[in-house]
Amino acid sequence: MRFRRASTFKAKISDNFLFPAHTALNLHFTAHACVQDPKVVVEVFYETYCPDSRSFILDQLNSTYAELSNIITLQLVPYGKAVSCVIEYYPDPKEHLPLVVCMFASRNPNGAYESCATKQEFDLVNLQKCVSARKATTCN
């Protein structure tokens, strides 16, 4: 079957379906003519202290991405400054997903940020500058 133009399907799974609280998952399926290897775009919106976000990332996303990273384009969208700075400096999910998993594996995810970033050998000086700059520009 040939496609004359791209067709797109977008589904949002949120509060009332699989992920209660503040976790949302967007899946984008796009079929293009003559595209050899289309990927599924998976966007995950999460909060660090949300137990549903924690369960999803630790129990499902981490292993699924490890197994299917060749067919998934993963976009993590955190609610928080620290991890968003990591994603800004290290945009490849293969780099920043292990940090998120490390943080969620801790009882105090935000407290584990620095040790997890150190394990990943991230540039803590520039990351801390990014976090501080975002705190200064955020209205409370």
Torsion of CA 71, 27, 22, 91, to 10 degrees: 40
So where are the chain's domains? 7-136
Percent of the chain with pLDDT over 90: 40
For residue 133, the model assigns a pLDDT of 85
3-state secondary structure of 23: coil
Q: Over 70: is that where the pLDDT of 99 sits?
A: yes
The CATH fold assigned to 7-136 is Glutaredoxin (3.40.30)
Which residues have C-beta within 8 Å of that of residue 102, sequence separation ≥ 6? 112, 115, 116, 119, 120
pTM of the model: 0.66
- Report residue 1 as tokens: 């079957």
**pLDDT: is 101 or 10 the higher one?**
101
For residue 54, the model assigns a pLDDT of 92
| pLDDT tens for each residue of 48-65 | 888 999 999 999 999 999
What is the average pLDDT across 83-99? 91
